[in-house]
Amino acid sequence: MRKAGSVGVAAGLEIAIMTEMGNLLPVGEVGEVVTQGYANNPGEFVSRN
């Protein structure tokens, strides 16, 4: 399904939109895209832990 303004469906990763403090945001809010899970190219991602 395509939806304007959407990042699409997650494929193997968990995806969330969060504040800078790490709080989940409700649908429609603007924030930081955060992913967790396996990445086929780990050099492309930076861990914040």
The reported pLDDT for the residue numbered 26 is 92
Q: What is the pLDDT along the chain (49 residues), one digit of tens a residue?
A: 566 766 666 666 788 899 999 899 998 899 998 888 766 665 655 555 5
Its pTM surpasses 0.85: no
pLDDT of residue 19: 93
Annotate the chain with DSSP letters as a single string.
---TT-----SSEEEEEE-TTS-B--TT---EEEEEE--SSGGG-----
